[in-house]
Amino acid sequence: RGNGATSYGSGNETLGPVLPGAPIIISPFGKRVHPILKTVKNHKGEDYRGSINTPLLAPFSGKVVESRYQANTVNGKTVGWGHTVVIEAPNGVRYRASHMNSASPLRFGEVVSKGQQIGKLGASGGVTGPHLDAMLYSPSGKILPVSAYRGKTLNEIGKIQ
């Protein structure tokens, strides 16, 4: 991860929007009552309100390192990310977009540009309605709130332990 020997992205690139317009966070990063399991859990992403098929945007240039469907059953209830895609910057910063309406058109190893459409907002996996679950990871694996790092450079995010 993040060896820097690529032909895409720059450490000076800033974290951009994940949805067009002014997205509204409907479930923030941190502790909450899980909407399906009804137990207190740490929400490691941010849920953004949106309509089915709203374009999801790459917040930075990078390479697709995961594009799949992920869900399972807990106590008879579906939980999980559903259709999800993960993009990694050259320095190892990662972004995950989950609950897409359908599989991302992107495949493992494809290079994406900042602002490029990476999928469509949906309600796949364990959800109570359509939304984007957005997650940001530092190269060390620390999970970060996307909204708190918007406008920060990938170099700044990459230093977070």
Amino acid letter, 134: A
Q: What is the pLDDT of residue 3?
A: 40
Cα gap 139→157, rounded to integer Å: 8
Kindly give, in sequence order, each residue whose CB lies less than 8 Å from that of residue 13, ignoring residues fewer than 6 positions away. Answer: 60, 61, 89, 114, 153, 154
Q: What is the pLDDT of residue 1?
A: 42
Q: What is the pLDDT of residue 34?
A: 65
Q: What is the pLDDT of residue 7?
A: 54
Q: What is the pLDDT of residue 38?
A: 74
DSSP states along 62-126: EEEEEEEEEEEEETTEEEEEEEEEEEE-TTS-EEEEEEESS--S--TT-EE-TT-EEEEBB--SS
Phi first, then psi, for residue 144 (nearest 5°) are: -125, 150
Eight-state DSSP code of residue 17: -
- In tens digits, the chain (161 residues) has pLDDT values of 444 445 566 778 999 999 998 888 877 767 767 666 677 777 788 889 899 999 999 999 999 999 999 887 777 776 788 999 999 999 999 999 999 999 999 999 999 999 999 999 998 887 778 989 999 999 999 989 898 899 999 999 999 98
CB of 160 closer than 8 Å to CB of 136: no
Return the half-sphere exposure (C-beta side, CA atoms, 13 A cut-off) of residue 148: 15
